[in-house]
Structure 1
Amino acid sequence: MPRLRLLVLGVAVSAALAGTPVAATGAPLAPVPLPLSEEAWPQAAAPGDRLTVSVAGSGVAGSDGTYRLTCRPVGGTHQRARAACDRLAELAGGSQDPFAPVGRNAACTMQYGGDATARVTGTWQGRSVDASFNKKNGCEISRWRSLEPVLPGNAG
């Protein structure tokens, strides 16, 4: 009997040194699958959008304030998070950057859309975002509207 104990002990020590778990009987245990690393998950390959949206003077009831918006998965404190993430997903397939400022040489109509301002910061499509919005002319109004419902819609 002492020989069997030595054999079991020898197998256990050898397995421990090799990193292989063994049962009390000395038989190797079946490997336990480990959870996939973050890199193996599809969501981790394209990190989710994480934005902070600050709005002032919008004229839309309950829309002024600072909100967090996360997409993939949808979450945060944004009032219309699902619709906002859907819009961002649409914009991701386009050829224009929705956060780019109006070009210096753009010809904009001289219309005034109100005192609304907004700032969007964070990460979108894996890149840093820091964009300001207003409604001071036709180009800025169009740019604002292209991001609705990330930014609040018109008051009326």
Structure 2
Amino acid sequence: MPTSLQLREVTPDTFESAIGLRVRPDQEHLVAPVVKSLAEAYVHPGVAWPRLICDGDEVVGFLMAFFEIDWTGKGTDFRSGLWRLNIAADRQGRGYGRFAVRSVAAEIRRRGGTRLTVTWHPGTDGPEAFYLGLGFRPTGETSGGQTVGVLELD
């Protein structure tokens, strides 16, 4: 995995690179475009944590995380996790997704959390194998038709 990887905030200088990021055409139905994620971050201030995934000065991906949200709306199940992950079509398979998940896990740990939650579209064309390969396990729940997975953080 490249050693020059880092997460950066989306700024006016990086906005165009962020919204220009595209996943492969066969993945477009699996993840919202970055511009939608940024709009959601705007209307959910303090909840969404959008970040660019950069290899040196190059934007290679985007992630959006959340921390301690009320998952069920009942005040009894607070979760942190990965809300979105978009890796540029021509940059996939190079470890950027793994870096993103590990970075979110580190931020959750830094904030005192012990579990990372993620959702994915089920099926052979979805990212299930990627998440399972990182150690996520399905919880048996669904959210909006997506599989809910959890990674216990040690």
TM-score tier after normalising by the smaller chain length: under 0.3
TM-score, length of structure 1 as denominator length: 0.22
TM-score, length of structure 2 as denominator length: 0.22
Q: Highest CA radius of gyration, 1 or 2?
A: 1
**Higher strand residue share:** 2
